Structure formats: structure tokens, C-alpha cells
Structure 1
Amino acid sequence: MVINIFTKENCMPCKATKRWLNEHGFKFNELSIPEYADILRESGHLSAPVVSITFEDGKEEIFSGGFNPTRLKELLIESELG
């Protein structure tokens, strides 16, 4: 599984998302929103952080709109439990 988080400086929801992932033992790649702003905007993501998860089977989930521990748990913990 590959987890990418697009973040910006001084973003409290970004920090909370990274903290949640660290606390639950998930490794992730942090990418700067300013470097990917055009791509993110074109795909409809207008708020930070943007979380992209690519699973082993190639399925991808992308969501944005602030810190969302419920969605993270659903996608990362519950999917692992099967």
C-alpha cells in the first residue's frame, strides 16, 4: 500500500492527519500542495490535506477536506482486518 499526503505549511488538519497515521503505524509520503496545485485543483481537490491511498490490488482512494479519522480508519484499518 502506498499513502501519499499532499499538505501545506501551517495546516492543522494536515498535521492531525500525519499524527494519526504515525500513531497507527502507517508509513506515508508527504508532498507539498504548492508543487501539485494545478493537478489537485483540476481533479477537484480544493482543501487540505489531500490523501491518496493506492492498495496492493491497484485500487486507489483519494479524498480531501480536512482531518477525517473516520475515513482513514475505514480505508486503512478496517480494510486490513478484511
Structure 2
Amino acid sequence: MKISVFTKPGCQPCRMTKKFLSEHDIAFEEVDGLEHIDELREEGFAQFPIVKTETDTWSGFRPDKLKALV
């Protein structure tokens, strides 16, 4: 499953999301969210991180969604 995590510098929820994925050996691609900020805003996102999987997309640190990936 492909997982992309859009992050920005200094983002605590971003670090927590990446830590969770790494600790559970879940491969992901980190993407600089600031390079895609206009696209992400158009999609309705207002906070980081933004996590996109093949079947779901969400923003913020979401342990419930992350646990479903394990």
C-alpha cells in the first residue's frame, strides 16, 4: 500500500505520525507539504500532516486511522 505523508517543518503532529508509522514498520513517503500547499488547500485541508493512502485521506495526528494501517 502506498502511503504519502505531507508534512511541514516544526510540526509536532507530523513527527508523531511519522514516528507511529516507523515504529510499526509501515513504509511511507514523506512529502514537503509546503511545496503543495495550494493543491492541499484546494482539497480542503487546513492542518498538517495530511496522510494519503490508496483508500483514505485525512489530516492531523489520527491514532485511530493509523492503527487501522497496522
TM over 0.5: yes
Pick the aligned partner of 2:65 from 71, 74, 77: 71
TM-score (norm 1): 0.82
Answering whether residue 35 of structure 2 is matched by residue 41 of structure 1, we say no
Q: What amino acid sits opposite 1:68 in the alignment?
A: R
SS at match of 1:30: strand
Between structure 1 and structure 2, the one with the greater Rg is 1
Structure 1 unpaired stretches of 5+: 55-59, 78-82
Which one scores higher on RCO, CA 8 angstroms, separation ≥ 6? 2
Using the aligned pairs only, state the percent identity: 43
What is the CA distance between 1:25 and its match in structure 2? 0.5
* Separation in 1, partners of 2:12, 2:18: 10
Q: What amino acid sits opposite 2:33 in the alignment?
A: I
* Separation in 1, partners of 2:66, 2:44: 20
TM-score (norm 2): 0.95
Instruction: Compute the RMSD of aligned alpha carbons.
Output: 0.7
Of Structure 1 and Structure 2, the greater strand share is in 1
SS at match of 2:27: coil
How many residues matched? 70
